[in-house]
Amino acid sequence: MTALFDSIGSLLTLWLLGWLFLSLPILLCYPLIRPILLARHPALGSKLLLALLSAPFLVSLLASVMLFIPLVENTMVSAHCHSNCGPHSPLSNSPWLIWPGACAGALVLAGICRRLLRNLKSSRQLMRQLSAVSIDRGNWQLIPECHCLVFALGWWSPRIFITEGLMKRCRPGDIEIILAHEQAHARRKDNIRLLLGKLFLLPIPNRFTAPLMNDLTLLTESACDFSAARAYSPLDIAETLLHVQKLVPAGHPQQGRLAFTGSEVELRIRALLNPTMPERHYPGLTSLLSLGLLLLLTLAMLDPMHHGFEWLVHKLSN
Amino acid sequence: MNKKQRRLAQTTLPQSLGELELTVMNHVWENGETDAKYLAGKIQEERLCSLSTVQTTLERLVKKNLLQRHKQGYAYHYSALASRGEFMGRMMKDVVSLLHDGKSSTILSSFVNVAATLEDAALDELEQLIRDKRRQKTRVDKV
């Protein structure tokens, strides 16, 4: 039982330390990486950014688990001896390491589950309420209300809701463009992508991760603008964005005004009007390459993680 | 409806209502003053729901100060204390708040970001940019 607890505690500690340690260079180097991401097609840029955000979490988790598999220990970790010279996992029996690691790991896992369940519950409750008061129009719902709002709700199969107020004030063609944009979100499962992005950055305080999440949101929105641009002219989409922006006069957001981060709408419109990035990207190839890179990084991290953890245990023991 | 009832009706949060309660409210708004039997008949066209369930829901809505009732003959007749417009307005304000604070950004996303203001000058500049692009496109198409 003690040996099992030591193993679980060591694994969790190793995972959390790896997750934090690998997140730091990404946060520090992000200002240099950002222009490269924003210069790509937004669909590619959002995928690459999500892969970047997932790397610390996935690499540290995979590597930590692999280090406790004997076959991996034999092949991927450089031979070294402690009291005996057999293959071994980076175990610690130091309570100063095991207990905090186990507790922190449990808290993080509980935090992830809590966030997922809370979001799921809110989503279902709001969906039930809005579905009860709205009119089904096939692939979207009409809310009989005078505020100007259009939004997508839900994770796996998001529903699109448009208020009557917005319908009345839209020009011919605006609603079709808005629906094409929102349907792109539903196809791409963007709400799940954003959720994953937030989960991968969970241990880092919000003020450091906000720029990355803002960029992920921007690239996601821009990707859906470009998706809508397959059926509609980019100029028409840009005009719709601007028109929806202007629909309600200045007022407090609580009164139903559609208010915007100036930079996001502006960047989206400029991207539509001046697409400098290549039009095509290869989603299958990008995913394969990202997975391949993640695997390579995981394998590369095995030896340093093993030795790094043993060094830490040794330091704490002394 | 007295002032106290109206104030209480205005403070009941839309998110505190369940799906059936909202469905019942919808029908009351559409049909005006009505009784439980008529409402149950209407609701049963859409979903499985017994008369007693509708009666219980109506009583809950009375307690939440969204409906008022008076006896007419042997049956109670119900009417709304808060108008649909007021209620839906509050619901949409809740959605805007959720969009605004970003905490629900993974379940709820809008066509344009509901977070901050864009100045008129920036809007005008974007409008001019679009107009210039359109003129440019028209010239290229003509050529």
**Could you give the CA distance from residue B42 to residue A215 in angstroms, rounded to a whole number?**
48
Starting at the earlier edge strand, list the strands of the sheet with A141-143.
A135-136, A141-143, A159-163, A150-153, B108-110
**Could you give the CA distance from residue A5 to residue A98 in angstroms, rounded to a whole number?**
8
Residue A94's pLDDT band, with cuts at 50, 70 and 90, is low
CB B86 within 8 A of CB B8: no
Stretch 42-101 of chain B: residues touching chain A, C-beta under 8 Å = 84-85, 88-89, 91-93, 95-100
**Could you give the CA distance from residue A17 to residue A310 in angstroms, rounded to a whole number?**
13
Cross-strand bridge partners of residue B34: B78
CB A37 within 8 A of CB A51: no
Starting at the earlier edge strand, list the strands of the sheet with B67-72.
B34-35, B75-80, B67-72
What's the confidence (pLDDT) of residue B142? Answer: 73
Q: Read off the tokens for B40.
A: 């149950």
Residue A88's pLDDT band, with cuts at 50, 70 and 90, is low
**CA nearest neighbour of A49 among A64, A63, A29, A65:** A29
Report which of residues B130 and A1 the model is more confident about: B130
**Could you give the CA distance from residue B94 to residue B104 in angstroms, rounded to a whole number?**
12
Please name the residues in contact with B117: beta carbons below 8 A apart, sequence gap of 6 or more.
A250, A259, A260, A262
Instruction: Give me the helix-helix angle, A174-188 and A190-200, nearest 10°.
Output: 50
Q: What residues of chain B lie within 8 A of the CB of A271, using their CB?
A: none
CB A43 within 8 A of CB A226: yes
Global ipTM: 0.75
Q: Read off the tokens for A73.
A: 């220990």
* Partner residue opposite B107 with nearest CB, options A145, A153, A264: A153
What's the confidence (pLDDT) of residue A82? Answer: 61
Cross-strand bridge partners of residue A150: A162
Chain A / chain B CB contacts < 8 angstroms: 166
As a whole number, mean pLDDT of residues A227-253 equals: 78
CB B109 within 8 A of CB A213: no
Closest-CA distance, A153 to chain B, in angstroms, reads 5
Please name the residues in contact with B8: beta carbons below 8 A apart, sequence gap of 6 or more.
B65, B81
Q: Is the pLDDT confidence value at A73 over 70?
A: no
What is the per-residue pLDDT across A261-303, written as a single tens digit (0 to 9) for each?
Answer: 345 788 889 889 887 666 566 667 777 887 888 888 888 888 8
